[in-house]
Amino acid sequence: MKKKVISICCGTGCNASGAGTLFSNLKKKLNNIKDIETEITVKNTGCHGFCEQGPVMVIKPDNIFYRQVRPEDADTIIEKSIKRNEIIEELLYEDPTTGKKIVKEEDIPFYQSQQRLLFGYNGDINPRDINDYIATGGYEALKKVFENMNQEDVIKEVKDSKLRGRGGGGFPTGKKWEAAFLTEEQDKYIICNADEGDPGCFQDRSLIEGNPHLVLEGMIIGAYAVGASKGYIYVRHEYPLAVNNFSHALKQAREYGYIGENILGSGFSFDVKITRGGGAFVCGESSALVASIEGKLGEPRDKYVRNTEQGLWGKPTVLNNVKTWASVPFIINQGAKWFTNIGTKDSTGTMVFSLTGKVNNTGLVEVPMGISLQSLVFDIGGGIKGDKKLKAVQTGGPSGGCIPENKIDIPLDYEKLTEIGSMMGSGGMIVMDESTCMVDVSKYFLNFTQEESCGKCIPCREGGRQLVEILNKITQGEGKEGDLVLIKEVSKTMQRGALCNLGRLAPNPVITTLKYFKNEYLSHIYDKHCPAGVCKDLISYSIIEEECRGCQKCIKSCPVDAISGVKKEPHSLDQEKCTKCGSCYEVCPFDAILVK
């Protein structure tokens, strides 16, 4: 009997646009069909990565890729694609550059340049069914470890793989494990950091939601290597689906004997507990995260003593990011040598980026380290939305920096990114076009880090506040000579004096934008002008008479009745009343609203 699998992405993005209803519709319809010779399974899986086109589905084994599928398409899909093997043209992805419709998932440019290691199985796995994970070779690495490897062997393999911390710091994972292994303490802990507070980042979440067992298997192997009996996974409280799926995975893994007492008869015991974060960005910092698990305020401490010596409850603790743990089973299964063949010499393996902002193909992208930013944005990302010009790419979240358009050919690895003032971070990548004001962007990030500062040390608490105040003034047209020097001085103090990386890296956005977009700052300060037309106090809206056709859409949308006029005649805008909300600009179909 022929077999077909309809794999529907039910990640948070697709779910929010109706994937859940589509799934149940398909299930219902299939239950009522008897006259068909194919065995059909509908699978709700984790994130497929191509969020921009959601909800997406793939019909296997032919890998027919449908995008923007609506719940009411269920009927047609069954009638045409399942019963009669026909392709539904309207649901196919259309390449924006060539205008051609593409049938198969692997032929879509978005997927072609990717090397999907951690996310590769997402489309085959129902995250709530451990058997799906096992079917993809899951828990084989764990068996291999128990059968053939002692603790030193595992640590050596991870060291040889040159795997580095995927949370952004890039610390060699094997080294960290070794340090914890070599301590004499009996009680040890491991922690999986799934706090992911960076705005614009969702790969950790998608991984736990879509393939929780992969992360868990990595954690169990790590626990065995360092000799830890208990693990914690610290998940953001905004991620309820991740918490649910991981809890479910824990339950199943316990039933199958992969965690708990005497795992697979090896004599090794290990269990994992889920801790929900409290919504504090600083808790992504390792010592703050540890404090938070202990039920304290998430304040970092000075780290002259590392977590691997004294971490959770004062015991040696290994803390790694979700993606780091998820890489481990691959290294064990296929060997360190195989892993070092992916990526560059010092940055091995793949990296998952959340590609967002003004780019055509928003989504999760997994690429070998060392790929150029150019290729990521244009080949995979499909270029800039609305054919606008690329201005900058912001990488590394609020602690990262902005990479200007003329540096877009840099290869993405830990060192290269740091060299030009940005960082890998946890993999957020926000594409900005010419309508983005760089002063406003750095104000946004500084505001964020300042609000999220725990307030324990003065450089971060006060320095951040000062920077925000200066930037506020600049964007309000009250910038003055000397502001830029002051920004640099305060930033230097924060970089040198702050207690943890939140404070030390917080000035990064303003430093890099100042380096690459100084003119924009100068024009705010001296000309009282915002070139991108973003900063409210420096712009005004008006109506271009020649373009206005008098359609009255702007009149209806204006919340303060600042626009008036009769039908089919040019309208006028009262500057006194205008609150610069931009509603008129949004609705005008004729580009008749001028922002100056």
Partner 1 sequence: MSINTKNVSIKVEEVNKITSKYMGEEPDYIALLQEIQDKFRYLPKDALKICSEKLNIPLSRLYSLATFYSCFSLTPKGKFEIHVCMGTACHVRKAPKMLDKISDHLHIKPGETTKDQNFSLETVNCVGACALGPLITVNGKYRGNLTVNQVDSILKELEEQVE
> Which residues form the interface with partner 1 (CB under 8 A)?
12-13, 15-17, 51-52, 54, 196-202, 205-206, 237-240, 275-281, 292-295, 297-298, 313, 354, 356-358, 362-363, 394, 397, 428, 430, 432, 436, 441, 444-445, 448, 452, 454, 557, 559, 581-583, 586-587
**What distance in Å separates the CA atoms of residue 188 and residue 310, rounded to the nearest whole number?**
9
How large is the greatest C-alpha to C-alpha distance in the chain, in angstroms? 84
Q: Which is nearer to partner 1, 293 or 490 (by Cβ)?
A: 293
> One-letter amino acid identity for 526?
Y
Q: Which is nearer to partner 1, 163 or 454 (by Cβ)?
A: 454
Q: Shortest gap between Cβ of 442 and partner 1 (angstroms)? A: 12
Q: Shortest gap between Cβ of 10 and partner 1 (angstroms)? A: 13
Q: Which is nearer to partner 1, 68 or 76 (by Cβ)?
A: 68
Residue 156 CB: number of other CB atoms within 10 A? Answer: 16
Q: Which is nearer to partner 1, 43 or 48 (by Cβ)?
A: 48
Q: Could you give the 3-state DSSP secondary structure of residue 408?
A: coil
Q: Shortest gap between Cβ of 357 and partner 1 (angstroms)? A: 5
H runs (alpha helix) in 119-257: 130-135, 140-148, 151-161, 173-182, 203-210, 212-226, 240-255
Structure-derived torsion over alpha carbons of residues 10, 14, 17, 19, reported in degrees to the nearest 10: -30
Q: Could you give the 3-state DSSP secondary structure of residue 198?
A: coil
> One-letter amino acid identity for 404?
P
Q: Shortest gap between Cβ of 458 and partner 1 (angstroms)? A: 18
Q: Which of 76, 41, 71, 43 is nearest to 55 (CA)?
A: 71
Q: Integer distance in angstroms from the first to the last C-alpha of the chain?
A: 66
Q: Shortest gap between Cβ of 362 and partner 1 (angstroms)? A: 4
**What distance in Å separates the CA atoms of residue 209 and residue 190, rounded to the nearest whole number?**
20
Peptide bond preceding 398: is omega within 30 degrees of 0, i.e. cis?
Answer: no
Q: Which is nearer to partner 1, 149 or 460 (by Cβ)?
A: 460
Q: Shortest gap between Cβ of 138 and partner 1 (angstroms)? A: 25
Q: Which is nearer to partner 1, 396 or 463 (by Cβ)?
A: 396
Q: Where are the beta strands (DSSP E) in 116-197?
A: 189-194
- Which phi and psi angles does 33 have, rounded to 5°? -95, 130
Q: Shortest gap between Cβ of 376 and partner 1 (angstroms)? A: 15
> One-letter amino acid identity for 466?
Q
Q: Shortest gap between Cβ of 384 and partner 1 (angstroms)? A: 12
Helix (H) or strand (E) holding 440: helix 438-452
- Which phi and psi angles does 235 have, rounded to 5°? -110, 140
Residues 6+ apart with CB under 8 A from 47: 9, 11, 12, 13, 14, 119, 122, 206, 209, 210, 364
Q: Shortest gap between Cβ of 592 and partner 1 (angstroms)? A: 16
Q: Which is nearer to partner 1, 28 or 237 (by Cβ)?
A: 237
Q: Which is nearer to partner 1, 218 or 298 (by Cβ)?
A: 298
One DSSP character per residue, 357-386 reads ESBSS-EEEEEETT-BHHIIIIIIS-SBGG
**Residue at token pair 């005649």:** 569
Q: Which residues pair with 273 in a beta bridge?
A: 232
Q: Which of 30, 60, 57 is nearest to 44 (CA)?
A: 57
Q: Shortest gap between Cβ of 157 and partner 1 (angstroms)? A: 32
Q: How many helices (H) and strands (E) does the chain have?
A: 24, 19
> One-letter amino acid identity for 258?
Y
Q: Which is nearer to partner 1, 223 or 534 (by Cβ)?
A: 534
Residues 6+ apart with CB under 8 A from 205: 12, 194, 196, 236, 239, 242
Q: Shortest gap between Cβ of 325 and partner 1 (angstroms)? A: 19
Quick one: tokens of 226?
């360092």
One DSSP character per residue, 59-116 reads EETTTEEE-S--GGGHHHIIIIIIIS----GGGSEE-TTT--EE-BGGGSHHHHT---
Q: Which is nearer to partner 1, 318 or 402 (by Cβ)?
A: 402
Q: Shortest gap between Cβ of 536 and partner 1 (angstroms)? A: 9
Q: Which is nearer to partner 1, 16 or 182 (by Cβ)?
A: 16
Tell me which DSSP letter residue 172 carries. Answer: B
**What distance in Å separates the CA atoms of residue 206 and residue 146, rounded to the nearest whole number?**
29
Q: Shortest gap between Cβ of 511 and partner 1 (angstroms)? A: 17
Radius of gyration of the chain (CA): 26
Q: Shortest gap between Cβ of 326 and partner 1 (angstroms)? A: 17
Q: Which is nearer to partner 1, 163 or 351 (by Cβ)?
A: 351
**What distance in Å separates the CA atoms of residue 393 and residue 358, rounded to the nearest whole number?**
10
Q: Which is nearer to partner 1, 188 or 205 (by Cβ)?
A: 205
Q: Shortest gap between Cβ of 110 and partner 1 (angstroms)? A: 12
Q: Which is nearer to partner 1, 75 or 451 (by Cβ)?
A: 451
Q: Which is nearer to partner 1, 126 or 449 (by Cβ)?
A: 449
Q: Which of 32, 10, 30, 6 is nearest to 21 (CA)?
A: 10
